[in-house]
Structure 1
């Protein structure tokens, strides 16, 4: 208890009295947020909010490199990570027991805590390749789909199959794949990540790239076949774009182990959701990290009680009791 009292005194001294006065019984002294590979949006965004929460609540915490949404569901479910981030598709598969990391395990002890942003699916190639559309991708193209088990690796190969693309599948972290594309070891990278993707922004600085959008027909075909929404990558996302780029997307949510104290999770959500400007300074994708987007969970994940209380009290959320863990 001595550590808790000292932390509370320090917080009061730094002006974060509201959080210091919370009931801190059972709070961890440190925490980790499962993100994804370096060079991707998950790592930048997740490490950013982890550091923000740690600073505001007087705890030790940070982002951890992982394999992405599928692995994060497993880590948070088992309690090996207190927090993580996932996408609605992998979340649904994990709860259904079809997560490839642990087939047959129903990962229902990972709870939703706040909406993050939409993950667009986009394709990048070097301008020198001559690939300007999905139809231009040559037979047997070497395509980097991101880390094994990531949202991109789970869904983008299926999308390419749906669109009739013949390819060799390659995996790796986004920064590594960006280097391979630049070195001619890959023909295409198929990104599923919040925009701007750091690896794409870095490529733009170093070489000429084509950011390839879907045609209207391709977009419609994917919308009919997968749990995604229509999306346009704004023109100001990358210097390469002359206009908005047609895409599809999945929503991302931050998750917590359902057994964490409600007061702790409530305080974490308050730090993240109460000042959007701070989050946007961490990553531009956080422009969608807004209270009104609580409904994008759409019943896929159970809500953590501490998070549900925050959205009910601050965003007018009407979350059914049977969608709240333990409710």
Structure 2
């Protein structure tokens, strides 16, 4: 799968929050780092690019983001050490850790460690208002549905959810921005988004045309939460101009992760910077409102990196030693 690096160099002279370099233990720190995100037009890319630049600017280490296939590929790239950091969702993380990744069947990706909670990924459906599709039940047989990049969280789980709800469809993959364009041009019928809100591609789409953002009814939400590792989630009406009332969907948690061999002091400083300055993270993406220490307990899949665990334990968020990578 092709990737595209988006690097943003930053130097010690730009430090604005972190302690002076001389005050930090920088033993073994890399000269640069890269964060695995996902396709352009999605929340992972916006969040991950902004976070990478924020860390680089404040810790004086050159860093940036890389466009990838999303959570599954990020797990593989971080496990092998091709990337130092990445963003993942708990469902794909569990499958990858258990050796069930479709990208590398049988490979147990156990050299990936949790750093901090990001936000929940809602699974929502968008269609053009002109299509007349206002509910999942309205999706016609053999509709073409865009499920995002191949191997992404959406592509991994949303087709199964649609099948569970009795929807017959033709599958289409692509970046979120590309699929949004195809929807607007009438080349596909529906886009099944799984990304932190607001999703850039949806925000851009609704400015250009009228869309329906579709939630789930009681029966649909109940069936999906019973069958998949998700929970119910409410998209606030203020998220998109197209929503007149809150929309109920389902969601899955996301975490930032590190290769477990990254220096403890480096991961500690990154975790400290991120968790202690939520206002800066929210300025990168509104989904970061949930990137707060209290949500550390949402990780029940990945072992914690010792550097991240040290910050959480020092600040009253207890992580048992058995959950920390040794």
TM-score, normalised on structure 1? 0.95
Structure 1 match to 2:244: 242
Structure 1, unaligned runs of 5 or more: 1-6
1:92 equivalent among 87, 94, 116? 94
The question of whether the paired residues in 2 share the 8 Å contact of 1:111 and 1:258 is answered with: yes
Name the SS of the counterpart of 2:196 in structure 1.
coil
Cα deviation, 1:117-159, whole Å, max 9, x if unaligned, reads 0000000000000000000000000000000000000000000
Cα deviation, 1:297-325, whole Å, max 9, x if unaligned, reads 02x001000000011112x1221212111
Aligned Cα RMSD in Å? 1.2
Structure 2 match to 1:125: 127
Structure 2 match to 1:144: 146
TM alignment of 1:288-303, pairs within 5 A: 288-298=290-300, 300-303=301-304
CA distance in 1, matches of 2:269, 2:169: 46
CA distance in 2, matches of 1:211, 1:83: 32
Describe the shift of the 1:117–1:19 C-alpha distance in structure 2 as closer, same or farther (beyond 3 A). Answer: farther
Structure 2 match to 1:307: 308
The question of whether the paired residues in 2 share the 8 Å contact of 1:20 and 1:57 is answered with: no
CA offset at residue 16 of structure 1? 3.4
Name the SS of the counterpart of 1:278 in structure 2.
helix
2:136 equivalent among 134, 137, 140? 134
TM-score, normalised on structure 2? 0.95
CA distance in 2, matches of 1:172, 1:271: 34
The question of whether the paired residues in 1 share the 8 Å contact of 2:71 and 2:89 is answered with: yes
CA distance in 2, matches of 1:20, 1:165: 59
CA offset at residue 216 of structure 1? 1.0
The question of whether the paired residues in 1 share the 8 Å contact of 2:17 and 2:58 is answered with: no
- Following TM superposition, the consecutive aligned residue runs of length 4 or more in structure 1 with deviations greater than 4 angstroms are none
Describe the shift of the 1:135–1:15 C-alpha distance in structure 2 as closer, same or farther (beyond 3 A). Answer: closer
The question of whether the paired residues in 2 share the 8 Å contact of 1:145 and 1:190 is answered with: yes
- Across the two proteins, how many residue pairs are aligned to each other? 316
Matched, 1:254 2:263: no
Name the SS of the counterpart of 2:267 in structure 1.
helix
